[in-house]
Amino acid sequence: MAEMKDMVNKVTDAIGGTMAKLGAASTTSADGFVEQAAIGDAYEIAAAGIALRRSRNDAVRTTAARMISDHTTSRHHLQAALEMNETRGVALPPDRLDTRRETMLEHLAEASEDSSTGLTRTNRSSPTRKPPPSCEATPKAATTRSSARWPSVRCPSSSGIWPT
């Protein structure tokens, strides 16, 4: 039964991921770009955070750390761009993820364990490993227009197991 649920979630996520790419690619407005870019960064940071906390596989952890670093940089550049006159009038991004990404993160959190990739339950993680900094909090910037609202970066605690 659990395997069936994992399978359904994976198919759903694959469709969701494709839709996200299509949505981003078809964006023609500044408002739409900002929304897609902000949500995309927030999702990638959160998803990588799950991997970083649950995996004992060095390759997975290295990739996850890089994802967090790169998407944090991307988010900061977008925030900086929104402080500039050039983007005056562009709508601020939503302050939370869209339903599709929320669901994808829930699926990741619920996913089953896979010993072949070293992904494991959160409570088996090494206690010496610290959570990634970017998952803990979004740094408060000097008071700016763009710091008012931003998709929160959350690293959902996972009691599930990584997809097989």
Partner 1 sequence: MTFNPLRERGIPLERQFRNWSELNVAPYDTHDVHPYTRARVIFMNGIEVEAIINSHQFARHTADTGIKQNLAMVRRVEQQQQKAVNWLIPGDESTIANTIGYEQVAVDLTAWLARQEPDPYLTRVYEFALLEDFDHLYRYANLMDLMGEGRKAEDITGGLTEIMPGRPTLFHHRDPHDTLRRPITLTAADTQSVMNAITIVAAEQQTMNYYMTRGNIPEDPLARALYLEIAQVEEEHVTHYESILDPTLSWLTNLVLHEYNECWLYWSCMQTEIDNRVRALWELHLAMEIEHLRIACEMQREIEGLDPESYLPAQGMPEPLTFESNKDYLRDVLRRTVDWAPYDARFVPVSDLPDDHRFFDFQRKVNTGGIPSEQVIERHRAEFGGEYRSVTEGDHPVESLREHGNHDRFPYLQTRARQSALEEA
> In the complex, which residues of this chain contact partner 1 (CB under 8 A)?
72-73, 76-77, 79-81, 83-86, 130, 133-134, 136-137, 139-142, 144
Q: Name the one residue in this structure whose structure tokens are 């994802």.
A: 67
CB of 157 to partner 1, least distance (A): 19
Identify the CA nearest to 48 among candidates 135, 150, 152, 129.
135
CB of 7 to partner 1, least distance (A): 37
8 Å CB contact between 112 and 6: yes
Identify the CA nearest to 83 among candidates 16, 150, 13, 155.
150
Hey, what are 16's tokens?
């969701």
Closer by beta carbon to partner 1, 115 or else 139: 139
Closer by beta carbon to partner 1, 75 or else 101: 75
CB of 125 to partner 1, least distance (A): 17
Closer by beta carbon to partner 1, 9 or else 79: 79
Hey, what are 137's tokens?
């909090």
Closer by beta carbon to partner 1, 36 or else 134: 134
Distance set, CA 138 to CA 39, 57, 73, 98 (Å):
14, 27, 12, 18
CB of 28 to partner 1, least distance (A): 17
